[in-house]
Structure 1
Amino acid sequence: MNSIYFYSMISMGGIAALLAGGLGFAANHFHVEKDPRVAKVEDALPSANCGACGYAGCESFAEAVVKGEAPVGGCPVGGDSVSTEIADIMGSENESSEKVVAELICAGGLKETKKSGKYDGIKSCKAAHQVNGGEKICQYSCLGFGDCEAICPFDAIFINDNGLPEIDPDACTGCGKCIDECPRNVLLLAPYQAKNHIRCSSHNIGKIVRKTCEVGCIACSLCLRACPVDAIEMKDNLAVIDYEKCVNCGICADKCPTGTIEFQGERIQKVEINDNCVGCTLCAKACPVEAIEGEIKKLHEVDQEICIQCGLCYEACNVDAVDLFYESDLS
């Protein structure tokens, strides 16, 4: 019996040694050198693993960057500082993309919307949406139970007293998790610098909207006709803004009769060009409505009748020759 155990141990040891040798040979023979830049790029990332870059996590994104499959500025959480560091690692130029943040396209809170009844079910947007649509009559409205708040990995969302999510643009990374979580699709990603937002997602006709919500879009098209750069169009009874075309002039918000369009921040009231102007024409080229005139190397002027106070000329000028005046400056 002892001899059986002895030979069994010998044979098992031999098999183990053979397998170990085979594994060792395979490891050496089929070994693939990992680019050391992958680890460096991963170390430069914020390790949020949020998926905002479009990859499963920071390691996957780092590998994609090194392979040339992802841009060095593809991490919205890290911002310019991280993209600059990654660009240095990769020996390329910084290609940081514009920051985007989540925006709510519904202003119909508890105060503004009509109720269909009392909802006593699970306090979850998904649950309410599947059962009877919650308490609001408008089937496009925000349900307000905070599924977006719960899913946000950066604590950038909270539900206010009016039953609507408020988003901290500085804390938001644009990862899109809240958008995927919302059963009503009342969240979207918009440029961080955007100031004009249409706070409605209803595709009902104006007559029905008026009966269900005080601040809903009634498809009157006043914003569309007022926009000087054609950045708004009507899609199935709803005004939709094209952020790539929008110049943040705020004219659409002024014209909206229901307050559906919100302008964030203080509106520019007047634009003037001062004596610092060197006549480079950069401001004139930046103006979307051709409100600036002047000859090369001579002082330019703003036609106040045409100017839409968007401020693009101010951003284009590099000699501090453009002055912006706000309501507080003129009062």
Structure 2
Amino acid sequence: MSTPILVLIVMTIVGLIFGFVLAYVNKKFAVEVNPLIHMVEDILPKGQCGACGYAGCAGYAEAVVLDADVPPNLCIPGKKPVANMVAELTGKVAPEVEPRVAQVRCAGSHSKAIRNYKYQGIEDCVAAGLLQGGPKGCQYGCLGFGTCVKNCPFGAMTMSEEGLPIVNEKKCTGCGKCETVCPKKVMHMVPIGSPVSINCNSKDKGAVARKLCDISCIGCGICAKNCPHDAVKVENNLAVVDSHICIEKCDNPTCVLKCPTGAIKAAEGVKTIVESQQEIASNNSN
């Protein structure tokens, strides 16, 4: 018998032996998967956003089924309906899930904010930020390369022609993925129904901030002084709104009217009220 044929026969026998051994080991040490894990995973939205703190929907499904300490309401995109279904399947109690939405805390568009240099490189905010903090003059502002938009698992964001992300609140699930990937921490999650938002992320002092962006917060504190509910305060030269107080008590956002730079923006639902008050104030001054 020739050597090549002998080698082929030996390799075939060795392969068959290893095959039988692997098949036996696989059967002997097979771990049964709890079918409940698949049932829970099937009802999750499959965004793989990681808002629950686990590596994808499968990771959370396994954890919530096998670990008694993992609550059934960690799927932020699924909100209350999914939390209730997971709770029913796992026999746990589902605490209330606060609906939230992404908010862009920057209005420094191409026409409003200055740029230090022209960036030519990878169209990614993280990559651009590695070069002297990015091309935008304000080192706290949105870089405008759409990393948040590209990473939104639910297609709830687009980029405007002015280089700022736009959130579609009807599509936004509040998963927080955009907040996680933004290198400048411009994206922020707020409760749904927040009457106002701070359209700025700058921590620079007023004179510096205004020099870099026409619509920046200058930390003057006028908004805080005029808020009758103490929902606004200034921290690190930047106005901060307590959305929970705002939602509960405010039906007349005076902070929007008093802000000298327009850094505080009224939500869509209260714009009409604010615009009417601004028109009345304008007529009275005339």
Residue aligning to 2:265: 262
Following superposition of structure 1 onto structure 2, how do residues 41-80 of structure 1 map, counting pairs within 5 Å? 41-66=40-65, 67-80=67-80
Larger Rg: 1
> Which structure has greater helix proportion?
2
TM-superposed deviation, 1:220: 0.6
User: How far apart, CA to CA, are the structure 1 residues paired with 2:38 and 2:213?
Assistant: 53
Find the counterpart in structure 2 of residue 113 from structure 1.
113
Name the count of aligned residue pairs: 269
Label 1:20 to 1:206 Cα distance change in 2 as closer, same or farther (>3 A).
closer
TM-score (structure 1 length as normaliser): 0.70
Q: Distance in 2 between matches of 1:183 and 1:64?
A: 29
Alpha-carbon distance change, 105 to 10 in structure 1, aligned in 2, over 3 angstroms:
closer
Q: Say which of 252, 256, 267 aligns to 1:253.
A: 256
Contact 1:104 1:188 in 2 (8 A): yes
Gaps of 5+ in 1: 271-325
Question: Once the 2 structures are TM-superposed, how far is the Cα of residue 84 of structure 1 from its aligned partner?
Answer: 2.6
Quote the residue 1:243 is aligned against.
243
Backbone CA RMSD of aligned residues? 3.3
Q: Aligned to 2:265, what secondary structure does the other structure show?
A: strand
Are the aligned partners of 1:116 and 1:137 in contact in 2 as well (CA < 8 Å)?
Answer: yes
Would the aligned equivalents of 1:100 and 1:190 in 2 still touch at CA under 8 Å?
yes
- Could you tell me which amino acid in structure 1 is paired with residue 118 of structure 2? K
8 Å Cα contact 1:122-1:128 kept in structure 2: yes
Kindly indicate whether the alpha-carbon contact (under 8 Å) linking 2:231 and 2:242 is maintained by their aligned counterparts in 1.
yes
Q: Alpha-carbon deviation of 1:88?
A: 2.6
Check 1:19–1:137 CA distance in 2 against 1; reply closer, same or farther (3 A cut). Answer: closer
| Separation of aligned partners in 2, 1:264 and 1:15 | 67
Distance 1:241 1:114 in 2: 26
Tell me which residue corresponds to 2:38: 39
* Partner amino acid, structure 2, of 1:64: A
Q: Aligned ranges for residues 13-24 of structure 1 at < 5 Å?
A: 21=24, 24=27
Deviation of 1:34 after TM superposition, in Å, equals 4.1
Q: Which has the higher contact order (CA 8 A, sep 6+)?
A: 2
Please report how far the alpha carbon of residue 164 of structure 1 lies from its aligned counterpart in structure 2 after TM superposition. 0.8
Counterpart in 2 of 1:90?
90
Residue in structure 2 matched with residue 188 of structure 1 by the alignment: 188
Contact 1:52 1:173 in 2 (8 A): no
Question: Take 1:20 and 1:135, find their aligned partners in 2: how far apart are those partners?
Answer: 58
Shift of the 42–219 alpha-carbon distance from structure 1 to 2, 3 Å rule, reads: same
Work out whether residues 149 and 157 of structure 1, in 8 Å CA contact, stay in contact via their aligned partners in 2: yes
Is the 2:199–2:265 Cα contact (8 Å) retained in structure 1?
yes
User: Which residue in 2 is equivalent to 1:232?
Assistant: 232
C-alpha distance in 2, partners of 1:229/1:160? 34
Question: Percent of pairs identical after alignment?
Answer: 38
CA contact (8 A) 2:104 2:186 kept: yes
CA displacement at 1:199 relative to structure 2:
1.1
Change (3 A) 1:7 1:153: closer
Partners of 1:72 and 1:96 within 8 A in 2: no
The CA distance in 2 between the partners of 1:263 and 1:8, in whole Å, is 75
Between the aligned partners of 1:58 and 1:40, the Cα distance in structure 2 is 12
1:47, distance to aligned residue in structure 2 (A): 2.2
Shift of the 243–19 alpha-carbon distance from structure 1 to 2, 3 Å rule, reads: same
Check 1:8–1:53 CA distance in 2 against 1; reply closer, same or farther (3 A cut): closer
Matched with 1:157 is 157
Partner of 1:282: none
Alpha carbons of 1:10 and 1:40: their partners in 2 closer, same or farther (altered >3 Å)? closer
Residue type of the partner of 2:78? G
Q: Report the alpha carbon displacement of residue 255 of structure 1 after superposing the two structures with TM.
A: 1.8
Question: Do 1:121 and 1:128's aligned partners in 2 also have CA atoms closer than 8 Å?
Answer: yes
Question: How far is the alpha carbon of 1:171 from its aligned partner?
Answer: 1.4
Unaligned 5+ residue runs, structure 2? 281-286
Q: Post-superposition shift, 1:131?
A: 2.0
Contact kept? 1:128, 1:134, Cα under 8 Å: yes
Structure 2 Cα separation of the partners of residues 185 and 93 of structure 1: 33
Q: Matches of 2:25 and 2:125 in 1, distance apart?
A: 55
> Match of 2:190, as an amino acid?
A
Matched, 1:179 2:179: yes
